[in-house]
Amino acid sequence: MKPSPEIIGELMNKKDQLELYHQMVLIRRVEERGAELYQQGKIGGFMHLYIGQEAVSTGLIAARQPNDRVITAYRDHGVAINCGIPVNKVMAELLGKATGTSHGKGGSMHMADPQKNFWGGHAIVGAHLPIAMGMALGDKYAKRDNVTICMFGDGATNIGFFHEALNMAKVWSLPVRWVCENNIYGMGTSVDRASAVSSIAQKACGYDMPSDRADGMDVMKVHEVAKKAIDEVRSGKGPYLLELDTYRFRGHSMGDPERYRKQEEVKKWEESDPIGIYHRYLTENKIATAKALDDMDAEVLTEVERAVEFAETSPEPTMEDLYKDVYAD
């Protein structure tokens, strides 16, 4: 069910609503351009695109306070942008340049910036969940009012880390907002084949934790449920699990032959393109004209091209930089 314009009005002003559109389009164009650069051999390592899932992190992160921490898995370019990492730094990181957000040594899967309260970008499935739990434990111990927002895929919920982290978070009543992005697949394996229950939210019962499930293709809906849940966690009610239904329009990573799904399925989900849904919402509710959104799209293209130029003309990390940033001082 769509939230009514009145509810939205209370949650967010017009400028902020347009900013959500800007961020989603920016993520989409950065990744489309990133895919081209990858095919030209300018990006090394693995790269996982977020195309189709933009509404999840956009709606979610718009609901956080600046002191709330965000941590995610390797599908992290969009999350980095939503956390406020400039697009130049994201693009430069993709190209492994010294000007990148992780100084060119993290690459696609390891974007991070503690100044923006974005704690990465983690490649090992599920391994960042205990880290999230540890950050929340530290905040609780130090009596800081922060919420940790931990995002992960459906596949990660079949891993031991998930169960250990949720258990301890509940035992210690930690301020963590667990967010599962259920895009139906973990690489080529569907949820039905890998998980004993098809609703991930149901797994919260094992830890006596409240949970919710919502449409992850509708950015305003995501924002609405995220806001409610973050406020609840901050009020001291302990951890919460949110499941957001979404879909990745591209393969698992670059070069995925996609033998595990039919093109008709992809096409069906593309009808629920989060950018299309939000475009309709903004124009139908007269928050923006189609022309204003077209102008924004054009500005985003220019912004992305400038970022590509910045990244391509940036220096590589030097040999002397190789051992920097390995350990915290």
Note the residues at the interface with ligand TPP (CB under 6 A).
Answer: 75, 123-125, 152-156, 183, 185-187, 252
Pairing of strands 189-190, 185-186: antiparallel
Per-residue H/E/C for the chain? CCCCHHHHHHHCCHHHHHHHHHHHHHHHHHHHHHHHHHHCCCCCCCCCCCCCCHHHHHHHHCCCCCCCEEECCCCCHHHHHHCCCCHHHHHHHHCCCCCCCCCCCCCCCCCCEHHHCECCCCCCCCCHHHHHHHHHHHHHHCCCCCCEEEEEECHHHHCHHHHHHHHHHHHCCCCEEEEEEECCEECCEEHHHHCCCCCHHHHHHHHCCCEEEEECCCHHHHHHHHHHHHHHHHHHHCCEEEEEECCCCCCCCCCCCCCCCCHHHHHHHHCCCHHHHHHHHHHHCCCCCHHHHHHHHHHHHHHHHHHHHHHHCCCCCCHHHCCCCCCCC
78 binds, among Mg ion, ligand TPP, none (CB under 5 to 8 A by kind): none
User: Closest distance between ligand TPP and the C-beta of residue 8, in Å?
Assistant: 28
Our CB check for ligand TPP shows the closer of 12 and 176 to be 176
Our CB check for Mg ion shows the closer of 11 and 194 to be 194
User: Closest distance between Mg ion and the C-beta of residue 285, in Å?
Assistant: 32
Under 8 Å CB-to-CB from 291, ≥6 apart: which residues?
none
Our CB check for Mg ion shows the closer of 107 and 155 to be 155
311 binds, among ligand TPP, Mg ion, none (CB under 5 to 8 A by kind): none
- Could you give the angle at the alpha carbon of 22 between the alpha carbons of 17 and 25, nearest 5°? 130
Our CB check for ligand TPP shows the closer of 164 and 232 to be 164
Q: Should residue 245 be labelled a site residue for Mg ion when binding is judged by CB under 5 A?
A: no
Q: Should residue 100 be labelled a site residue for Mg ion when binding is judged by CB under 5 A?
A: no
Q: Of the ranges 91-99, 154-162, 258-266, 277-285, which one interacts with Mg ion (CB under 5 A)? A: 154-162
User: Closest distance between ligand TPP and the C-beta of residue 150, in Å?
Assistant: 12
Our CB check for Mg ion shows the closer of 54 and 154 to be 154
User: Closest distance between ligand TPP and the C-beta of residue 127, in Å?
Assistant: 7
User: Closest distance between Mg ion and the C-beta of residue 135, in Å?
Assistant: 23
User: Closest distance between ligand TPP and the C-beta of residue 116, in Å?
Assistant: 21
59 binds, among ligand TPP, Mg ion, none (CB under 5 to 8 A by kind): none
100 binds, among Mg ion, ligand TPP, none (CB under 5 to 8 A by kind): none
Between CA 50 and CA 37 the distance in angstroms is 16
Q: Should residue 153 be labelled a site residue for Mg ion when binding is judged by CB under 5 A?
A: yes
Which residue's CB atom is positioned nearest to ligand TPP? Answer: 153
Our CB check for ligand TPP shows the closer of 64 and 75 to be 75
Which of 57, 99, 183, 246 binds Mg ion (CB under 5 A)? It is: 183
User: Closest distance between Mg ion and the C-beta of residue 106, in Å?
Assistant: 22
Residues in touch with Mg ion (CB under 5 A)? 153-155, 183, 186
